[in-house]
Structure 1
Amino acid sequence: MRRTVSLLKKPSFTRVWLFPTWIMLGISRLVILTVTFRRLAPYLGHSVGLQSYTQLLTTEQERRAIQIAQVIRLASRYTPWVANCFPQAVTARLMLGLFRIPYALYFGLTRDRESGEFKAHAWVVAGRVPVSGGHGFAEYTVVGCYLKHIQSETN
């Protein structure tokens, strides 16, 4: 009952998009487990290698990117499957593309100081908004970047 009341207090965007986002997280996880990265990569955006890019957003795009980030974080808390950084990044890419918001999806690596093993991370930024995965630049070395630039209707 408490969770239902809490959900009803959320902004309308969150209430409307929570279940579809939850479903997208599941589909993203399933695709990651069943499709090779080589086949998935073309759908992530245009590969620009190791370069980092940020495209400026309008105020409305930035506001929507923040809303998308919030609903992805919330939906990922309630999945019975693993909804770590990669499924969240794929879901963020899907939602940002749906709302025609330019984004950059990054893959990074770092070496664990204790075990010496590599740790991988995926994160998505739209302008200055960290949509999923937080600010991975501080801890991870970028090993791949995929972009989607949305052209305005007037161009």
Structure 2
Amino acid sequence: MSPHALPCRGWGQVWCRLWCRLWRRRADLPLLLEAAAGLGLAWAAMRLVPFGRLAAWLHPRVRRRASPPPAAAEVARVAWAVTVAARLVPWPAVCIHQGIVAQRLLARRGIPAELYYGVRSAPGTGDIPADILAHVWVRAGGLDVVGHEVAGDYVTLASFPSRP
């Protein structure tokens, strides 16, 4: 069935376009749902679990595979799913949520990834002191996954690699 034949009349142009884009990537819809569910769990965990306990969860075990996967294609699929899911979920899915989910999805697919936590200072204004801004990004085997757009502006404080 072509995306133009989808029954989206009356839905509004934005929803129709979204549905057509998702329909073209329908093979990736289970991954998108997995990413959305993971974002919900990450959001809840960040609110309910102290960071000290959560940090231990940031070293997921990588599933072993008999043959190496096509890493670049799989990394791109995971990056797409996490980025799109973050825009679609009704709660705020910021960089730390996206990073946690991307790292875990890659680990489930046998691809080791490293989550980086960095900071930078933002200049203050007048009597307001400078702020410290934090950011999370993920890299897998030299490939950028999520959060890499502004990673160069941050100094790495900690990194959380996947465990073999």
TM-score, scaled relative to structure 1: 0.81
Distance 2:100 2:114 in 1: 11
Could you say which residue in structure 2 is the equivalent of 1:20? 34
Distance 1:136 1:63 in 2: 23
List runs of 5+ in structure 1 lacking aligned partners.
Answer: 47-57, 151-155
Residue deviations 1:6-53, cap 9 Å, x none?
A: 21112612x22112211110111000110011001111128xxxxxxx
RMSD between aligned residues: 1.8
Could you say which residue in structure 2 is the equivalent of 1:97? 107
Could you say which residue in structure 2 is the equivalent of 1:87? 97
Bigger RCO of structures 1 and 2 (CA < 8 A, at least 6 apart): 1
Could you say which residue in structure 2 is the equivalent of 1:32? 46
Please tell me whether Structure 1 or Structure 2 has the larger radius of gyration of its CA atoms. 2
Pick one of 93, 97, 119 that aligns with 2:133: 119
Aligned length: 138
Is the aligned partner of 1:5 residue 2:15? no
Could you say which residue in structure 2 is the equivalent of 1:52? none
Q: Is the 8 A contact 2:135 2:151 kept in 1?
A: no
What is the CA-CA distance between 1:59 and the residue it aligns to?
6.7
> For residues 134-149 of structure 1, what are the structure 2 equivalents within 5 Å?
134-149=148-163
Distance 2:96 2:163 in 1: 21
TM-score, scaled relative to structure 2: 0.77
Secondary structure of residue in 1 paired with 2:91: coil
List runs of 5+ in structure 2 lacking aligned partners.
Answer: 1-7, 9-15, 61-67
